[in-house]
Chain A
């Protein structure tokens, strides 16, 4: 029986979709069988981030409404084939086209075949959010170190607990070490202090993310990339390993040096 994880945030634009794509790919790279589900009906994007936009035939709604079999709608990843698949969102329908009960049923089916089902939730706290969390076992909340995003994360944590999804974990995305060093950006301790939930990972802001997304690739499999390393660490933590947080204060050049010297440790 697989585990269903919902990736959510409240605020839009903090990197939910990128996080979903990277964690999914990262888990698949460790040999897990993974299904990604885009629940952002009307604003689908997980397909382009994964570079699979040209392969879509059926979508989530087709499955729910019985226009196709589940298997027909699952798109195989370019690199991992059967062990990493995407169920895309419908692009031309309303957010309330799917019901929480239908999502629960779908998740029950998917968890039979996959070790991990990762749901990319829409921004906001309305219908789409409620659908996305309906069939989930656990939640990962994504935030950036900005006041608005942290505030919304706090609200989402409250709503998740109200929906009996206890102990959500936090990913702090787009941390800028230079600004943290100057005291101009909240760091992991500050956010931990305020939200008081367990932190699953810290992802540095890096142009690698934009470059790889442009190409329809995920950064998690790029051994040389800092955010890639950060995502790989999150994947290992999801799998139950204890991995210390990356030292973001370390200069990039030093990081490269260490990599070269150690022949890409971990």
Chain B
């Protein structure tokens, strides 16, 4: 009943928002897996940039998508071997 009244006055949250939220997340995964090359290229460039400042374990590098309640984050796990001395 309460739900009905809130809907009646427009302060509602219909099920479409739930659909949008779920769709966003699932598409992040679909799109990423559609082009594995993209993630690979990202990894390679990350290595290049970070290697300027840190010595990293390239083999141990991992890049993944992580989903929160209403957001998606790119999580990179980059094992550091050594901090480079400033030139």
Q: Which residues of A contact B (CB under 8 A)?
A: 146-147, 150-151, 154-155, 158, 180, 182-187, 190, 193-194
Contact = CB atoms under 8 A, between A and B. Distances in A.
B27 interface: yes
A187 B15 CA distance: 12
Nearest to B24: A194
Interface stretch (B6-14, B57-65, B79-87): B6-14
Contact of A184 (B15, B27, B35): B15
B30 A185 contact: no
Interface of B: 7, 12-17, 19-20, 22-24, 26-27, 30-31, 34-35
Given A150-B23, A154-B31, 19 more contacts: A147-B22, A147-B23, A151-B27, A151-B30, A154-B27, A155-B34, A158-B34, A180-B16, A182-B12, A183-B15, A183-B17, A184-B14, A185-B14, A185-B16, A186-B20, A187-B16, A190-B20, A194-B23, A194-B27
B-side binding surface: helix, strand, loop or mixed?
Answer: helix
A17 B24 CA distance: 28
Contacts of A151: 23, 26-27, 30
Nearest to A183: B14
A165 to B, nearest CB: 15
A180 B15 CA distance: 10
B27 A183 contact: no
A89 to B, nearest CB: 28
A154 B30 contact: yes
- Main secondary structure on chain A at its contact with chain B? helix
8 contacts: A147-B19, A154-B31, A183-B12, A183-B16, A184-B15, A186-B16, A190-B16, A194-B23
A184 B20 contact: no
Contacts of B20: 186, 190, 193-194
Contacts of B13: 183
Nearest to B26: A151
A151 B27 CA distance: 7
A226 to B, nearest CB: 21
A154 B15 CA distance: 21
Contacts of A182: 7, 12, 14
Among A180, A184, A187, find the residue whose CB has the most chain B CB atoms closer than 10 A: A184
B37 to A, nearest CB: 11
Contacts of A190: 16, 20
A194 B12 CA distance: 21
